Amino acid sequence: MGSFSTFVFLFFGLVLNGAVFCNGGKTSSYVRKVEKSVDMPLDSDTFKVPHGYNAPQQVHITQGDHVGKGVIVSWVTPNEPGSNKVIYWRENSKHKKKARGKVYTYTYYNYTSAYIHHCTIKHLEFNTKYYYKVGFGYTVRKFWFVTPPAVGPDVPYTFGLIGDLGQTFDSNVTLTHYELNPQKGQTLLYLGDLSYADNYPNHDNVRWDTWGRFIERSAAYQPWIWTAGNHEIDFAPEIGETKPFKPFTHRYHVPYRASNSTAPFWYSIKRASAYIIVLSSYSAYGKYTPQYRWLQEELPKVNRTETPWLIVLAHSPWYNSYNYHYMEGETMRVMYESWFVQYKVDVVFAGHVHAYERSERVSNIAYNITNGLSTPVKDQSAPVYITVGDGGNIEGLANNMTEPQPAYSVYREASFGHAMFSIKNRTHAYYSWHRNHDGYAVEADSMWFFNRFWYPADEYLSAH
């Protein structure tokens, strides 16, 4: 291209970008097949029961302490409790160690669970590959994981993000795209709504089991960090099931006590250079409630010199311009948004709305009943809000958007996909969103994040 045509190209490129920006953002015109998502049948390969008597299935791991030296190993044995032992060892080491867990069962209406094992392994070395085995006595299966590097301000680390996955053919495509993303996610931040078993008659908990077998191929090898969504509540008084979160809390343990939380629905972990706060959209969050008091004490503890990146996960988004679940996150936003600005949260990830959306850095905290100031304004101390509720579950895409696109909304698109948040150092992180209809390496949306504590410049004014 000659210099003049380069100039023309750049000029019009900038004008077009400017026009898009002034209109408040981009609504993607990407056209996809809009068809119903169908659950994979019970006899799918994806749900295959491993061979062997009482073979462990639904194996998954999550962080088991506050800093990443612990891992919770969970698995299900179908026939009998069997051994609660985990044998684990460092790669290239002959020194095998042993940990013992506990076994749980629960009933849900006419369903009785198999034997659910949870075992916390502690005092692991950082940045080390470990092998582990479960199922002693009968069929033993072997897996591995890699512990994160020691917590520190400039430790690179890559998180994947999936929400509202379910167990459809589309869900399987989403998980495959995450697994094959060349950025190689090291830990998955799961944004709530797991199995969608509650879409079946009597919340058929067999669909909790199939979901556990579906995700094992990833979750047995890297930690999935759990956020509770509305499909985890399983509150069904019409069939006598009145204890909220019963299947979820039996099947998916989290290290909530390590962050002085009193319930497994809100907690925090440190991992590499990130401080991750998980909140519950479906537990009380008003003033004086346990979650409120915990978050109030938690935020001042975050030391950005140790963990520069402050990430919050919650299922229900606070900024959502789709006509699905519109304003459902509003009451929690009213309670906590001023804290997020005060403590300079870098990014808030949510699910719930089955689509994708990324916001400007905005806040809406000036309103005081009489002043009329109830519109989001640009705020460099505020987080970016990202909705990644597009895992592919049976309920299908949210493709009906509010019009016009609000000024705070930078990009929105109704496609299935997943996202990646790749921390480079204390100042920069690279974020990307990947739609299922593209190749594994394609980024449909991306953004360089500048850390709010170390480099609070306006990302949207910089070349990107």
Least distance (Å) from Fe ion to the CB of residue 308?
30
Please identify, using beta-carbon distances, which residue of 193 and 234 lies nearer to Fe ion.
193
Contacting range for Fe ion; rule: CB under 5 A; set: 190-198, 212-220, 363-371, 396-404: 190-198
Cβ at position 354, least distance to Fe ion in Å: 8
Pairing relationship of beta strands 309-313 and 274-278 according to DSSP bridges: parallel
**Is the sign of the CA dihedral 44, 47, 49, 50 positive or negative?**
positive
List the x/- string, 306-345, binding to Fe ion by CB under 5 A. ----------------------------------------
Minimum Å gap between C-beta 166 and Fe ion is: 10
Interface with Fe ion includes 352 (CB under 5 A)? yes
Total number of residues that touch Fe ion (CB under 5 A): 4
252-311 positions binding Fe ion, by CB under 5 A? none
Q: Which two tokens stand for residue 48?
A: 């295959």
> Which is closer to Fe ion, CB of 75 or CB of 252?
252
Closest CB to Fe ion among 135 and 391? 391
Shortest spacing between CB 164 and Fe ion, in angstroms: 6
Nearer to Fe ion, 215 or 365 (CB): 215
The residue range among 169-177, 232-240, 281-289, 351-359 that interacts with Fe ion, by the rule CB under 5 A, is: 351-359
**Binding of Fe ion by 230 (CB under 5 A):** yes
- Binding part of the chain for Fe ion, among 213-221, 229-237, 283-291, 436-444 by CB under 5 A, reads 229-237
Q: Which residue in 39, 65, 193, 357 binds Fe ion (CB under 5 A)?
A: 193
What's the closest the beta carbon of residue 310 comes to Fe ion, in angstroms? 24
The answer to whether 117 contacts Fe ion (rule: CB under 5 A) is no
Q: Can you name the residues that pair with 236 across neighbouring β-strands?
A: 241
Which 3-state string (H, E, C) describes the chain? CCHHHHHHHHHHHHHHHHHHHHCCCEECCCCCCCCCCCECCCCCHHHCCCCCCCCCEEEEEEECCCCCCCEEEEEEECCCCCCCEEEEEECCCCCCEEEECEEECCEECCEECCEEEEEEECCCCCCCEEEEEECCCCCCEEEEEECCCCCCCCCCEEEEEECCCCCEHHHHHHHHHHHHCCCCCCEEEECCCCCCHHHCHHHCCHHHHHHHHHHHHHHCCCCEEECCCHHHCCCEHHHCECCCCHHHHHHCCCCHHHHCCCCCCCEEEEECCEEEEECCCCCCCCCCCHHHHHHHHHHHHCCCCCCCEEEEECCCCCCCCECCCCCCCHHHHHHHHHHHHHCCCCEEEECCCCCEEEEEEEECCCCCCCCCCCCCEECCCCCEEEEECCCCCCCCCCCCECCCCCCCEEEEECCCEEEEEEECCCCEEEEEEEECCCCCCCCCEEEEEECCCCCCCCHHHCCC
148 scored as a contact of Fe ion (CB under 5 A): no
Q: Decide whether 416 or 450 has the Cβ nearer to Fe ion.
A: 416
Q: Which of 177, 325, 354, 434 is catalytic?
A: 325
Peptide linkage before 148 cis (omega within 30 of 0): no
- Catalytic site residue 434? no
Under rule CB under 5 A, residue 160 binds Fe ion: no
CB of 353 to Fe ion, least distance (A): 8
Instruction: Find, among 202, 200, 256, 260, the residue nearest to 227 by Cα.
Output: 256
Q: Rank residues 193 and 337 by Cβ distance to Fe ion and give the closer one.
A: 193
| Region from 117-125, 226-234, 341-349, 441-449 binding Fe ion, contact rule CB under 5 A | 226-234
What count of residues does the chain have? 464
The candidate with the shortest Cα–Cα distance to 36, out of 165, 201, 169, is 169
Which one of 25, 166, 229, 317 is in contact with Fe ion (CB under 5 A)?
229
Q: Which stretch binds Fe ion (CB under 5 A): 71-79, 141-149, 228-236, 394-402?
A: 228-236
Q: How far is the CB of 42 from Fe ion (least distance, A)?
A: 24
Of 252, 233, 272, 209, the closest CA to residue 62 belongs to 252
Residue nearest to Fe ion (CB): 352
Segment contacting Fe ion (CB under 5 A): 4-12, 104-112, 261-269, 352-360? 352-360
Phi, psi of 289 (to 5 degrees): -75, 160
CB of 193 to Fe ion, least distance (A): 4
Question: Which one of 62-70, 153-161, 257-265, 347-355 is the stretch in contact with Fe ion (CB under 5 A)?
Answer: 347-355
Among residue numbers 419 through 458, which ones bind Fe ion (CB under 5 A)?
none
Minimum Å distance from CB 234 to Fe ion?
Answer: 13
Nearer to Fe ion, 232 or 360 (CB): 232
- Say how far apart CA 58 and CA 152 lie, in whole Å: 32
Residues that bind Fe ion (CB under 5 A): 193, 229-230, 352
Catalytic (active-site) positions: 325
